[in-house]
Copies of this chain bind each other. A is one copy, B any other.
Amino acid sequence: MTEKIILNENRFFDPDPSIRKIARELYEGVKDLPIISPHGHVDPRLFSENSPFPDPTELIFIPDHYIFRMLYSQGKLMESLGVPTVDGSWTETDHRKIWQIFGEHFSLFAGTPTGVWLAHELKEVFGIEEKLNKETAQNIYDQIQEKLKTPAYLPRALYDRFNIEVLSTTDKATDTLEHHQTIRESEWDGRVIPCFRPDAVVDIASPDWISNIELLSETARIEIDSYRRYIEALEKRRTFFKSMGATSTDHAVLVPYTHRFSENEVESIFQRALRAESTTEDCADFTAHMLMEFARMSIEDGLVMQIHPGSYRDHNLAVYEKFGTDKGCDIPIQTEYTHNLKELLNVYGNDMRLTLIVFTLDESTYSRELAPLAGHYPAMRLGPPWWFHDSIEGMTRFRQRVIETAGVYNTVGFNDDTRAFPSIPARHDVSRRIDSNFLASLVARHIIDKREAESLSHALAYDLVKKAYKLD
């Protein structure tokens, strides 16, 4: 069966004619603005090497846990989907076969953001006219494969075509940033910058922490035998990241508890960690303390600080052990901000030199905790709806619950947060459409006027993210 992909020009807008008309007008005013992507997970190697993407499955399917988790939830084995195993044991390598499974089950994505993004990506990026399904899968594979061999589909060419103004990757504290260096030294003028994400050297509960600290010692050229030296190493790395274009840091924590321990206390925790003798309490305490330290560092070096709490990582141990991290089994938990962030906000939240961008996977905190906090503390801003909530309904709920208390100007525009590079235009397009629609619904109800909406629209699509992430 062959059906056409139709990207209706009014898609995602409220069907009420008065809202739709205004939404469309607002959208027309922002749709062609450059894309600022201040938080994502694209591999910088793409742009340093600028090699052709190998094939559609490798490009679109395998790295995208949004896609294969859905197939897994409906009983497809991860091995049959080509997800690489940790121990190198068998996993499907016939990419056409995987793509066929994808096509046969594409209807699972009806009504999901993945469905919406893929339609856009297939049609707009790859020029595919037919919907992906059982019958069309191989033909679409061929079409994409063909395109990937052409210069127009090299990573840098796509970056330029996507009209990206700046793209931030996410990088370990120990990363040498060699790919970023190569990009900077190249003649290509794309702006690909790193983001300092030190989780691996902060999470003392991880079995890899000690080896990560050894790596940090090497990379920073500081012998880390004490907490003080550890902090020096981190500061040194931040300085290096900043010199390589970084404007922000990112911190994933289970619970956003913040508390500064005394130098003696934290040194004891640190020494226990070095001896692999950390207690559960140590891990929580150390994270709480380090959030305070990172806020202090941000005030000193000006890097914008992001906190992403509330994801219980690798909930499914069998999947984790066989396939590793980021395999679709990270599950949100309830998250508390009012008590947990209190110390950090009391010590640093009144300081305008700090920009603290807080995210959540717990939507119940939008109106209850996050909007009131961001609507008061000068340093705090709210990150956009994240991960599962980066969706049409999710974005709408975010705006409906946040703006009345925090206003628009305490939010920071959109993050695509993706490792799926060719989905970037689709994601920003959805965001711009939903924000346009949200503002149009305010105009149609005479809560704001059209001129105000135009100004807010531009802010949401471009100005806020640029300012918040210091990307001028």
Contact = CB atoms under 8 A, between A and B. Distances in A.
Interface of A: 3, 6-8, 10-16, 18-19, 69-70, 72-75, 107-113, 115-116, 312, 315-319, 328-334, 336, 338-339, 342, 345-346, 349-350, 352, 361-364, 367-369, 371-378, 380, 388-389, 391-394, 400-401, 403-410, 441-442, 444-449, 451-452, 455-456
Given A69-B376, A107-B452, A339-B312, A388 B404 contact: yes
Contacts of A72: 376, 378
B318 A346 contact: yes
B14 A445 contact: yes
Contacts of A332: 338, 368-369, 372
Contacts of A108: 407, 409
28 contacts: A3-B449, A11-B445, A14-B16, A14-B445, A15-B16, A15-B19, A15-B444, A70-B375, A73-B375, A73-B380, A73-B406, A108-B407, A110-B448, A111-B404, A111-B447, A111-B448, A111-B456, A112-B405, A315-B373, A318-B346, A331-B369, A331-B372, A333-B338, A333-B369, A367-B388, A372-B388, A391-B404, A392-B404
A129 B107 CA distance: 44
A389 B368 CA distance: 9
Contacts of A75: 352, 378
A14 B329 CA distance: 36
Contacts of A329: 376
A361 B400 CA distance: 16
B316 A73 contact: no
A454 to B, nearest CB: 11
Given A315-B376, A333-B339, A334-B368, 18 more contacts: A10-B446, A16-B16, A69-B376, A72-B378, A110-B456, A111-B403, A111-B408, A115-B447, A316-B376, A318-B346, A328-B375, A332-B372, A333-B338, A362-B368, A367-B394, A392-B447, A393-B401, A393-B404
Given A10-B446, A107-B452, A315-B345, A405 B376 contact: no
A107 B316 contact: no
B376 A328 contact: yes
A445 B19 CA distance: 12
A413 to B, nearest CB: 15
A331 B404 contact: no
Contact of A445 (B13, B373, B377): B13
B70 A111 contact: no
Contact of A407 (B19, B70, B380, B400): B70
Given A312-B339, A338-B332, A349-B316, A410 B74 contact: yes
Which 10 residue pairs of A and B lie closest in terms of their CB atoms, listed nearest first? A11-B446, A8-B446, A15-B444, A391-B404, A15-B18, A364-B364, A111-B403, A331-B338, A393-B400, A388-B405
A38 B448 CA distance: 30
B350 A316 contact: yes
Contacts of A317: 346
Nearest to A14: B445
B112 A403 contact: yes
A110 B452 contact: yes
Contacts of A372: 330-332, 388
A387 to B, nearest CB: 9
Q: Which of A111, A334, A371, A406 has most B Cβ within 10 Å?
A: A111
B331 A373 contact: yes
Contact of A367 (B12, B363, B404, B410): B363
Contacts of A115: 447-448
A18 B15 CA distance: 7
Counting chain B CB atoms within 10 Å of each CB, the highest count among A14, A108, A315 belongs to: A315
A378 B328 CA distance: 12
Given A15-B19, A111-B456, A334 B331 contact: no
A362 B363 CA distance: 12
A119 to B, nearest CB: 10
Contacts of A336: 333-334
Contacts of A8: 446
A399 B285 CA distance: 39
B12 A377 contact: no
Contacts of A445: 11-15, 392
Nearest to A404: B391
A368 to B, nearest CB: 5
